[in-house]
Structure 1
Amino acid sequence: MRRIPPQQRREELVAAAIRVMAQRGVPAATTRAIVAEADMPLGAFSYIFGTQDELMHAVIETVTEQERFAAQAGSIAATSVEAAIRNGLNAYIDLLVAHPERELVSLELGLFAARHRTMKETPTQWETYFSSGAQMLQYAADLTRTRWTAPTAELARPLVAFIDGITLAWLADRDTDAARRTAAFAAASIASHSRPLRTQEVRDAH
């Protein structure tokens, strides 16, 4: 049997769960199917994850963190908050195009759980998205010396709604240019709730 550090084993189980769900759907992601895909013994699952709910929550966190990292990396060179959001959304679209199976799994997981109410962690899935969206908006503001005129927690909800819409539409028609146009519209809409920091506000921030 392979000797694998616990963190690596955790990552491999998460990756295996994503592959199983991408290929066969969420209902097929049984514990046995996941450990078989990961080439691990059944006992390895319970050693790393107490329940399947914990694994599914780890899948959500992993996908969300990858999205946030990509969006932040894409925003670095922006000189306005609108450009930062647009660049971040375009970086997300790049990730979507490169790995559509991960986004499909994320959406299916939330819809499956909402229908069956089988995952105790499910109510936190969109809360995770909202929290990540609020962090991205604050990052964009800090990057471009901008102040939001509404709480980031409120603005994160339409941002996440735009992202969900972009994802669903792209998965349906694979029209990347249309997805980028929607991203530009979303960035302009969200950025309309911001204003540049005044000189004194910039000094106070430092």
Structure 2
Amino acid sequence: MARIPAAERRTELVAAAVRMIAAHGVDGATTRRIAQEANAPLATLHYCFATKETLFAAVYEYVAGQYREVLLRNDVHGDVATTARALLRGVMEWYLANPDFGAAIIELISWAQRQEGKQAEMVYSEAFGTTRPILEAAATAAGQTIDSNTIDALTYIVSALSDGFALNWLVFTDRGAARTQVELTLGVLDAWMAANLGDASVPVAEAAKVPKASKASPEETMRSLVSWVGAS
């Protein structure tokens, strides 16, 4: 049997740890279970990671890195509204396709908060540190002037909406309903952007086509969304 390089083995063990954390929780993700899931001897796990804490630190880094890659893949290099929608949709689609990651993230954050450690902040810091520059660059490229506080708020909104969607999906696991909820969640983002971004809430290409007088006000946009939710 060919010898697996240590770096590749570490990656396999971390990925196996994510699956075990999703299935059994942090406390139930024993080193033995993780090694078995990775089809590796327990001794190999202890060789790659001296302690369980070291393994879990690598898991946090891995999850944060995966989240960053999802955001970068969904950077459409458009204006602010188009880019924010693409980022939110991309993360929600990722949760749909990778329920293990969503479950593991929630487990890890809850566990880290009980430990009073800083690992839980890593995933959010990584997401904020990736999302904000993407939105800022989109505004600059599109010639849109949006103040720093509003960019911060939009970054938070994208994160909060994706978190809420992920939790609901993990609880109910109804893929048909989740598909509808993807669009509903994007509608909430649209309503927030209409209320807070002004003209920047309309894609630049569309804004050039729409006369100023015909654009819906933030209040009209919010009423329209609420009416649609009530009718559904």
- Per the normalisation by structure 1, the TM-score is 0.77
Q: Distance in 2 between matches of 1:187 and 1:69?
A: 24
1:90 aligned residue: 89
1:186 aligned residue: 189
| Aligned ranges 1:168-183 → 2 under 5 Å | 168-173=167-172, 174=174, 175-183=178-186
Structure 1 residues 193, 161: CA separation in 2 closer, same or farther (over 3 Å shift)? same
Are positions 1:162 and 2:165 aligned together? Answer: no
Structure 1 residues 100, 194: CA separation in 2 closer, same or farther (over 3 Å shift)? farther
Q: Distance in 1 between matches of 2:64 and 2:191?
A: 23
2:216 aligned residue: none
Are positions 1:75 and 2:75 aligned together? Answer: yes
Tell me the SS of whatever aligns to 1:72: helix
Q: Of residues 128, 132, 138 in structure 2, which corresponds to 1:137? A: 132
1:150 aligned residue: 148
Contact 1:170/1:176, CA 8 A, preserved across alignment: no
Structure 1, residues 67-94: CA drift from partner, whole Å, max 9, x if none? 2222222232x53211101111111111
- Per the normalisation by structure 2, the TM-score is 0.69
1:19 aligned residue: 19
1:102 aligned residue: 101
TM-fit CA distance, 1:148 = 4.5
Structure 1 residues 193, 15: CA separation in 2 closer, same or farther (over 3 Å shift)? same
Tell me the SS of whatever aligns to 1:68: helix
Q: Distance in 2 between matches of 1:54 and 1:187?
A: 41
Contact 1:148/1:195, CA 8 A, preserved across alignment: no
TM-fit CA distance, 1:108 = 1.2
Tell me the SS of whatever aligns to 1:75: coil
2:212 aligned residue: none
Structure 1 residues 80, 50: CA separation in 2 closer, same or farther (over 3 Å shift)? same
Q: Distance in 2 between matches of 1:181 and 1:94?
A: 14
Q: Distance in 2 between matches of 1:133 and 1:5?
A: 33
TM-fit CA distance, 1:29 = 0.8
**For the aligned residues, what is the CA RMSD?**
2.8
User: Share of identical aligned residues, percent?
Assistant: 29
TM-fit CA distance, 1:188 = 5.4
Q: Distance in 2 between matches of 1:60 and 1:190?
A: 31
TM-fit CA distance, 1:177 = 1.8
1:200 aligned residue: none
Contact 2:92/2:162, CA 8 A, preserved across alignment: no
Aligned AA (1:73): R
